[in-house]
């Protein structure tokens, strides 16, 4: 049984890291990283079979971040779990930094793929999962994806291919926060009914509260004969009231004053945990 209080506290710490990183950088995305902190905490501190001391361990689970713009939360999770020193987080987006604005394979331990162009992550996951099946290996491939990037056609090509090859070693987690850079997803290009769509493409699909770490862990560990999609209903900007559910925070960082305000709000959340 995971220590849920410890995990909730870690998610809050990661949110604080994200705010501090973005203020220091002066650029980057805020809403998505805050909204996905619980998912990344569940993965890196319970679900994944991984070894930060041996990032290229042959039996590791693979993590692919398709929506690379939310990389501050990935970087914070990697640092907090021991892949590199926490002090390096403050170099986000600076010239010469290993923490680029989108993840770059080879720049940091624990980064499996390069991402930037949206819609490619599930395709990458399918390729990795198929190769693992061909090699008769038991590693799992976890792919983090956004709802907005499901506007991309190549996403659905990959979704079609995974069940053809019975890739039940894929677990996809969608940040279903209902926003993208231009507004609400259902106003930009309606995606619903997402669960029925995935099921019609022969995926095992379920909806979870993206802030319920216990539910996320249970969903990730569920056995299936099909590829899995977990629709994580999240609140963009989670934990910072003046950011929550506002698409305007999709692609901008907090100012120093907004950062101080956000950190105070997160401290209040922490005190209640």
Single out the residue of 188, 254, 271, 257 nearest to residue 31, CA to CA: 254
Give me 85's structure tokens. 């020193």
Peptide bond into 193 cis (omega under 30): yes
Name 32's Cβ contacts closer than 8 Å, sequence gap at least 6. Answer: 67, 69, 70, 73, 146, 175, 177, 236, 250
Contact 81, 55 (CB under 8 A): no
Tens-binned pLDDT, residue by residue, of the chain (273 aa): 789 999 999 999 999 999 999 999 999 999 999 999 999 999 999 999 999 999 999 999 999 999 999 999 999 999 999 999 999 999 999 999 999 999 999 999 999 999 988 889 999 999 999 999 999 999 999 999 999 999 999 999 999 999 999 999 999 999 999 988 888 999 999 999 999 999 999 999 999 999 999 999 999 999 999 999 999 999 999 999 999 999 899 999 999 999 999 999 999 999 998
Contact 42, 52 (CB under 8 A): no
Single out the residue of 42, 52, 14, 81 nearest to residue 230, CA to CA: 42
User: Across the strands, what pairs with 25?
Assistant: none
**What pLDDT is attached to residue 50?**
98
Residues in the chain: 273
Domains, in order of start, for the chain = 4-272 (3.40.50.970)
């Amino acid at each position: 049984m995971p220590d849920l209080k410890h995990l909730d506290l870690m998610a809050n710490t990661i949110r604080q890291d994200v705010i501090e990183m973005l203020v220091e950088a002066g650029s980057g995305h805020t809403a998505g990283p805050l909204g996905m902190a619980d998912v990344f905490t569940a993965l890196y501190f319970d679900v994944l079979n991984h070894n930060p001391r041996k990032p290229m361990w042959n039996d590791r689970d693979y993590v692919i971040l398709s929506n690379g713009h939310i990389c501050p939360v990935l970087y914070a999770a990697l640092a907090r779990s021991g892949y590199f020193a926490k002090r390096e987080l403050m170099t986000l987006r600076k010239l010469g930094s290993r923490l680029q604005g989108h993840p770059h394979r080879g720049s940091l331990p624990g980064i499996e793929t390069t991402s930037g162009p949206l819609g490619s992550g599930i395709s990458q996951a399918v390729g990795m999962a198929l190769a693992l099946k061909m090699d008769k290996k038991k590693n799992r491939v976890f792919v983090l994806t956004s709802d907005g990037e499901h506007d991309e056609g190549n996403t659905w090509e990959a979704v079609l291919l995974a069940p053809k090859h019975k890739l039940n070693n894929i677990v996809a987690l969608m940040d279903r926060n209902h926003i993208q850079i231009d507004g609400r997803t259902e106003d930009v290009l309606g995606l619903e009914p997402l669960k029925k769509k995935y099921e019609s493409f022969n995926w095992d699909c379920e909806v979870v509260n993206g802030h319920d770490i216990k539910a996320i862990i249970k969903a990730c560990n569920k056995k299936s004969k099909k590829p899995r999609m977990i629709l994580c209903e999240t609140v963009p900007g989670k934990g910072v009231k003046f950011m929550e559910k506002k698409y305007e925070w999709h692609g901008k960082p907090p100012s120093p004053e907004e950062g101080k305000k956000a950190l105070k709000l997160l401290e209040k959340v922490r005190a209640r945990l």
